[in-house]
Each structure stands twice: as structure tokens, then as C-alpha cells.
Amino acid sequence: MAFNKKLGTRTLALALGGALLLPSMSAFAATPYTAKDGDTFWSLSKKFGVSLEKIMKLNPKVDPLNVYQGLTLSIPATDAQNAAAGKQAALAKKAAAAAASVKAVNVSAQSVTTSDGLLLSYSKVIDMKASAYSASNEENAWGPVDYFGNPLKLGTIAVDPKVIPFGTKVYITGYSFSGLPTGGMIATATDAGSAIKGNRVDIFVPGSRESVAKFGFQQVKLYVLK
């Protein structure tokens, strides 16, 4: 079929030359198109709203003077389509970043707020059976000191070192006792006891043996702090 007369020899040469100077078209999305009788690169550029140069660049093996019916061509996306695709990709990237951010927040959200508003990060939480002990000689064969010889004080707890290693800082909640801070308390595992095995914790409470004994046994949550 004849080439469209609107595209003269000089225009074609310029178009071909310009097309050779264009960067790779790999950045443009393309769709296949089956040529119809009367189609030319020029008419297709008008029909699809894309530049002649882009069509020629995307179909380097096609003779512009021999576009025949049934020929399969690649039609580049319009600038608007590319912009839409870019916007969609940007939205997808933003959504992925948001999802990653949510995941990061969920990971870092493993924290507990104390009764006075302090935010504490923890590695795990353990349900434990708690008891309390005083500084009386009857309860401390080696005197009113912890396992390491330090004076007993509020914040000292006795644990099973196989469950809670010595020196571990914890936050304990769930108890109800007037001799302890309301809402929860930070403590350090520095003591042990023959009866404290497994998920057991013995909390030191300042006061007489009789008053401390009123604590009894209570279920608490022990947060192992980072």
C-alpha cells in the first residue's frame, strides 16, 4: 500500500533520524495492534495519540512504507497512560512502605506502660504465681540480704534462675497489695529460694513478716524487660 502523502520524503527522513536519537523505548509500556487496510505509522500516531517517532522506534523491523493488513505492531502507551502507570507504581510503593511501617510498629509495639506513664520495652511476658517475703530472719537463713549479699529492698525479687536469669529487670503487674506500688513495679531478679521453682516469683516487701504474709498467693504478669 502507498505511504501517506502527508508524510513527505524529507519528513520521513527527519522522523527516522529523530527516532534513532531517542532513548530506549523500554521505559514505555506497549500493546500489540493488528494493522488494518489503510493504516500508516502517521495515521496510527494520530489514532492512538502517540508520537510518530515512538511508534517507529518501537517497531524497528517494520518498513514504514509497507504497513499491510494483518501486520502485528506494537503501540506505545501515551504519556497519560505512562503517567497513570507511574502513579499506580508510586501508590503501590507507598502502600508497601506503609505495610512495612505497620509491621515495624507492630514489632516495636511490644511495650508496656507503667502506672506513672513510663513506656517499657519487653522481650516476653510470663504468667506467674507470686508470693511475698519480708526481711525477717525466719525467711532469710543468711540474713536480710539477697543471693549476692545486697540488702533486701523494694524491687528485689526471688526467681528460678533457670526461668529468669539473675540480673534480669522485669515489670510486674496484676498483684493487689498495699505494701507494693499501685498498678505495677519494676524489679530485678537478684534473689532465689528453695521453694521458688518454675514460673514462681517471690516479691520482697518491706514490713513485718505478719503483714507481708497477707499477700498470700496471687497470679501476676511478669514482663521481661529489654
**159 exposure class (CB count in 10 Å sphere: 0-12, 13-18, 19+):** buried
pLDDT tens digit sequence for 150-185: 999 999 999 999 999 999 999 999 999 999 999 999
Contact 86, 102 (CB under 8 A): no
CATH 2.30.110.10 fits 111-225, yes or no: no
Kindly give, in sequence order, each residue whose CB lies less than 8 Å from that of residue 100, ignoring residues fewer than 6 positions away: none
In angstroms, rounded to a whole number, what is the distance separating the alpha carbons of residues 226 and 214?
Answer: 32
Q: Model-level pTM?
A: 0.53
**190 exposure class (CB count in 10 Å sphere: 0-12, 13-18, 19+):** buried
Mean pLDDT of all residues belonging to the chain? 83
Beta bridge partners of 218: 130
7: confidence class by pLDDT, cuts 50, 70, 90: very low
pLDDT tens digit sequence for 21-66: 333 333 446 889 999 999 999 999 999 999 999 999 999 999 988 9
Assigned architecture for domain 9-77: Roll (3.10)
Domain boundaries, the chain: 9-77, 111-225
